[in-house]
Structure 1
Amino acid sequence: MFKKLSEAELDVMLVIWNAQESLDTGEIVRKLKQGKKLQAVQVLLGRLVNKGYVSCEKIGRLNYYTPLVPQAAYRAAETETFVEKLYRNSPKSLIAALVQSQPLSKEDLEEIRALLDREEK
């Protein structure tokens, strides 16, 4: 199980996960939509290194960060925790809540049916 990420840490991880290559601190700061300050991002990156989410490699004067935890693995773990805590470990309850809270398009419904059909097999 992964250590929980704060919202700010998750914002930084999303930038790193979406990159096609390792990013230096300045690139991460520029890609963050909230316009976080360099020092704050450096603190967050230090936490992510300590939690084992990213590696840090110093090249010249710059630190480059690379994800160690795949986004899909983190998403799966967070989804499992979410379903356990809020829906008493019932995916059916989660799906019912999603369907009741917002209308689904015909395409959404078809994709969900296809996923369920594959899972059933």
Structure 2
Amino acid sequence: MSLSNAEEQLMQILWKQEKAFMKDLIEAYPEPRPATTTIATLLKRMQDKNFVNYVQYGRSREYFPLVRKKDYFSKQVNGMIKNFFNDSAAQFASFFTKETDLSQKELEDLKKLIDERLKSKK
């Protein structure tokens, strides 16, 4: 299951803060900040999707992520490769390196990462 753009934006704030009360989450947004009801609705949907949970302190709830950022984005990238690049990492890499206008240094850094990964697989 994935997040909407608005949910993902809120999740990014929560991953950064690790745990937060509603007011902390709202304050992390740029102006104009969303309404409390909007954030409450997003949090409820994210809770239903098992992305967040909370601890109740009196009338306040402290929210925390149930999914790690790395795990979420790994799943998103793998899904994108499957859906848009015929499950071919090579097609994805070809598209990525051609369409993102990477510099010579960025391409060399990518090559170094791949070479290191190849070494660790042996």
Deviation at residue 69 of structure 1 after TM alignment = 0.5
Instruction: Within 5 Å, give how 1:42-61 maps onto structure 2.
Output: 42-61=40-59
User: Which residue identity is paired with 1:49?
Assistant: Q
One-letter identity of the residue aligned with 1:113: K
**RMSD of aligned C-alpha atoms?**
1.3
The reply on whether 1:78 has 2:65 as its aligned counterpart is no
Measured after TM superposition, the shift of residue 52 of structure 1 is 1.0
Q: Aligned residue pairs: how many?
A: 118
Q: What is the percent sequence identity of the aligned residues?
A: 23
Q: Which residue of 1 aligns with 2:28?
A: 31
TM-score between both structures, scaled by the size of structure 2 = 0.89
Structure 2: tracts of 5 or more residues without a match: none
- Per the alignment, residue 95 of structure 1 pairs with 93
TM-score w.r.t. the length of structure 1 is 0.90
Structure 1 unaligned regions, length at least 5? none
SS of residue paired to 1:88: coil
Matched, 1:6 2:8: no
State which drifts further: 31-40 or 41-50. Answer: 31-40
> 2:115 maps to what in 1?
117
Which ranges of 4 or more aligned residues in structure 1 deviate by more than 2 Å?
none
Give the AA of the match of 2:82: E
Is the CA contact 1:29–1:38 (under 8 Å) kept in the aligned structure 2? yes
Which secondary structure does the structure 2 equivalent of 1:66 belong to? strand
1:102, distance to aligned residue in structure 2 (A): 2.9
CA distance in 2, matches of 1:103, 1:48: 35
